[in-house]
């Protein structure tokens, strides 16, 4: 399931927003615990999912990009009509579905492959299963050595973040690479960047169809259930939904839908026989918020911050060096160098960073066979992108140095190169330092974008842990504090340099 890209882009901002929102408690959910009457009055059920989830759940078919299809779409529509209500789809960021449901207001239920796990049951009401899935291990066809999770100790396994797959792969001692949607790990597996993927069987089912390089490694195991989520305590709605699911199963509607998508299996019989074993009545007690357990979460976040720091610093080093070359080409170079520099800056400033990241990480690997590691792709992309900014900063700096400086240096017999190195560059750097510092601090925050190619840096770790702990506020404050400290350290360093330059 793909949480929206927006989140990755603006995650540090989101952290602060969540923090601020956290100061204003949402209306307590018990006040509207019984929503059935409201729903029947309105005549419509708003069900939420993330359209980026992909096949077979919810996707835009290749032949008609305006339509939304998938087995969950059809199930949700069948469910609503069985409840006697109209169905209305609400697009929502997958990773935030549960917090969104708890907060209320945007949608009434969630039909989005949410697993019926103790963690989820502790936060929202969950229906009886509407789909039974297993964990499917996927490996490269050529790599016949991999047959089960046990053989994966020390090998790299791609999983979706905050899922059963992640937990099982971690427990098996594998080197876990966390993704936030379910297509890219198959690409990385094909490209040899990872050794296996552990995922839900429907995802494997669909993605293996057009990927001849990959194969199932063993049979599905560790059965799990997808269930409809409703606000906690909304028992009347839950009973109706449970009833409707059972009817849809018994009258063959579910089988028809799932068969259509190639997802029907004998395991689905559990939908009819399942009884509540009492997990819901006895939910796991959640640990007190993330804040209270700061001694657990802070080290985890700090470790992730190390990734943020090295990605940022390495990218900035590249941006500074390459930006300087571009600026010199722009200011002093011959016409072709000038044109190249102008075009470079415009292209990199004028296209989204995310697009560039995908281009470098997947585009180069698929079309040219340059399989960069996620870290290298992240540093390369951020570095090349920020080089455009730095080039402009240095250009402004170089152009701000008065012409007389060059003349004085040349008149003293200095060569053009010596003049540049000893006289112009130091002054230009001094002039551009404040803008470069700004960019450096911005890069700390922008580096969170690299989570989309599986690098767990600070923001990604925050999102994973906040979901685990069910505490966006406490962990958000900690994460924001770490970002603040990093940015503050960067500006302190810049101030020290500035003092050395302006004695």
Partner 1 sequence: MIHVQGLHKRFGDTRVLEGVDHMQKAGEVAVLIGPSGCGKSTFLRCLNQLEQADAGTIEIDGLVVGPRADRKTRTELRRRTGMVFQQFHLFPHLTVLGNVIEAPVHVGGMSRADATALAMELLAKVGLGDRAGFHPAQLSGGQQQRVAIARALAMRPRVLLFDEPTSSLDPQLRGEVLTVLRDLAAEGRTMLLVTHEMGLARDIADQVLFFDAGKVAESGPPEQVFGDPLHPRTREFLRGTHS
Q: Which residues bind partner 1 (CB under 8 A)?
A: 402, 404-405, 407-414, 418, 422-423, 426-427, 430, 501, 503
As measured in angstroms, the least distance from the Cβ of 152 to partner 1 is 58
As measured in angstroms, the least distance from the Cβ of 433 to partner 1 is 12
Contact assessment for residue 179 and residue 1, using Cβ atoms and an 8 Å cutoff: no
- CA 184 – CA 377 distance, rounded (Å): 14
As measured in angstroms, the least distance from the Cβ of 427 to partner 1 is 5
Bridge partners, 115 (sequence order): 226
Residue of 388, 310, 312 whose CA lies nearest to 352: 388
Q: Which is nearer to partner 1, 260 or 421 (CB)?
A: 421
Taking the CA of residue 374 as centre, how many other CA atoms within 13 Å lie in the half-sphere pointing to its CB?
Answer: 24
As measured in angstroms, the least distance from the Cβ of 503 to partner 1 is 7
- CA 103 – CA 98 distance, rounded (Å): 9
Per-residue burial over 252-276, b = 16 or more CB atoms within 10 Å of its CB, e = otherwise:
ebbbebbeebebebeebeebeebee
How are beta strands 156-160 and 196-200 bridged, if at all?
Answer: parallel
Q: Which is nearer to partner 1, 335 or 411 (CB)?
A: 411
Q: Which is nearer to partner 1, 285 or 502 (CB)?
A: 502
As measured in angstroms, the least distance from the Cβ of 406 to partner 1 is 9
As measured in angstroms, the least distance from the Cβ of 290 to partner 1 is 49
Q: Which is nearer to partner 1, 18 or 425 (CB)?
A: 425
As measured in angstroms, the least distance from the Cβ of 336 to partner 1 is 24
Burial class from Cβ neighbours inside 10 Å (0-12, 13-18, 19+) for residue 231 reads: buried
As measured in angstroms, the least distance from the Cβ of 407 to partner 1 is 6
Per-residue burial over 463-499, b = 16 or more CB atoms within 10 Å of its CB, e = otherwise:
bbbbbbbbbbbbbbbbbbebbeebbeebbeebeeeee
The H-or-E segment that residue 199 falls in is strand 196-200
Q: Which is nearer to partner 1, 334 or 402 (CB)?
A: 402
Contact assessment for residue 48 and residue 250, using Cβ atoms and an 8 Å cutoff: no
DSSP per residue, 375-441: HHHHHHHHHHHHHHHHHHHHHHHHHHS-HHHHHHHHHTT--HHHIIIIIIHHHHHHHHHHHHHHHHH
- CA 445 – CA 13 distance, rounded (Å): 9
Q: Which is nearer to partner 1, 252 or 426 (CB)?
A: 426
The H-or-E segment that residue 157 falls in is strand 156-160
Q: Which is nearer to partner 1, 13 or 412 (CB)?
A: 412
As measured in angstroms, the least distance from the Cβ of 405 to partner 1 is 6
CB atoms within 10 A of CB 358: 17
Q: Which is nearer to partner 1, 141 or 414 (CB)?
A: 414
Encode 444-469 in three state secondary structure.
HHHHHHHHHHCCCCHHHHHHHHHHHH
- CA 92 – CA 75 distance, rounded (Å): 18
Q: Which is nearer to partner 1, 24 or 417 (CB)?
A: 417
- CA 465 – CA 289 distance, rounded (Å): 11
As measured in angstroms, the least distance from the Cβ of 93 to partner 1 is 50
As measured in angstroms, the least distance from the Cβ of 332 to partner 1 is 17
Determine phi and psi for 417, rounding to 5 degrees: -65, -45
Q: Which is nearer to partner 1, 106 or 405 (CB)?
A: 405
Q: Which is nearer to partner 1, 389 or 419 (CB)?
A: 419
């Amino acid at each position: 399931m793909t949480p929206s890209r927006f989140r990755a882009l603006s995650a540090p901002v989101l952290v602060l927003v969540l923090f601020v929102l956290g100061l204003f408690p949402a209306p307590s959910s018990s006040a509207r615990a019984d929503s059935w009457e409201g729903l029947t009055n309105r005549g419509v059920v708003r069900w939420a999912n993330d359209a980026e989830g992909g096949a077979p759940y919810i996707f835009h078919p290749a032949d008609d990009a305006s339509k939304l299809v998938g087995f969950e779409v059809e199930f949700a529509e069948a469910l609503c009509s069985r409840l006697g209500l109209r169905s209305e789809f609400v697009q929502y960021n997958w990773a935030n579905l549960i917090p969104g449901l708890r907060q209320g207001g945007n949608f009434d239920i969630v039909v989005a492959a949410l697993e019926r796990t103790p963690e989820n049951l502790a936060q929202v009401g969950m229906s009886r299963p509407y789909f039974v899935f297993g964990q499917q291990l996927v490996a490269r066809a050529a790599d016949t050595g991999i047959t089960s999770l046990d053989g994966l100790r020390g090998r790299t396994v791609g999983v979706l973040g905050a899922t059963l797959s992640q937990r099982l792969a971690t427990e098996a001692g594998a080197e876990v690479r966390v993704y936030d949607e379910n297509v890219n790990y198959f690409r990385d597996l094909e490209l040899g960047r990872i050794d296996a993927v552990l995922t839900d069987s429907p995802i494997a089912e669909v993605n293996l169809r057009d990927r001849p390089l990959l194969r199932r490694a063993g049979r599905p195991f560790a059965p799990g259930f997808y269930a409809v989520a409703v606000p906690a305590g909304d028992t009347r709605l839950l009973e109706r939904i449970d009833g409707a699911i059972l009817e849809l199963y018994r009258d063959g509607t579910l089988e028809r839908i799932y068969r259509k998508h190639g997802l029907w299996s004998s395991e689905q019989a559990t939908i009819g026989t399942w009884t509540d074993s009492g997990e819901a009545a006895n939910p796991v007690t959640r640990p007190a918020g993330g804040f209270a357990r700061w001694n657990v979460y802070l080290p985890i976040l700090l470790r992730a911050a190390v990734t943020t720091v090295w990605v940022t610093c390495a990218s900035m080093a590249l941006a500074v060096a390459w930006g300087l070359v571009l600026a010199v080409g722009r200011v002093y170079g011959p016409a072709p160098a000038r044109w190249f520099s102008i075009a470079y800056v415009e292209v990199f400033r004028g296209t989204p960073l995310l697009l560039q990241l995908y281009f470098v990480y997947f585009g180069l690997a698929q079309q040219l066979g340059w399989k960069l590691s996620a870290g290298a792709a992240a540093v390369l992309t951020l570095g090349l992108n920020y080089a455009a900014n730095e080039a402009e900063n240095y250009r402004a700096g170089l152009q701000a140095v008065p012409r007389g400086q060059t003349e004085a240096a040349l008149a003293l017999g200095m060569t053009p190169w010596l003049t540049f190195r000893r006289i112009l560059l130091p002054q230009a750097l001094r002039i551009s330092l404040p803008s470069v510092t700004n960019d450096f601090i911005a890069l700390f925050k922008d580096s969170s974008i690299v989570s989309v190619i599986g690098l767990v840096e600070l923001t990604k770790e925050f999102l994973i842990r906040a979901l685990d702990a069910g505490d966006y506020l406490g962990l958000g404050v900690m994460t924001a504090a770490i970002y603040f400290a990093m940015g503050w350290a960067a500006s302190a360093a810049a101030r020290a340099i500035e003092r050395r330059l302006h004695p």
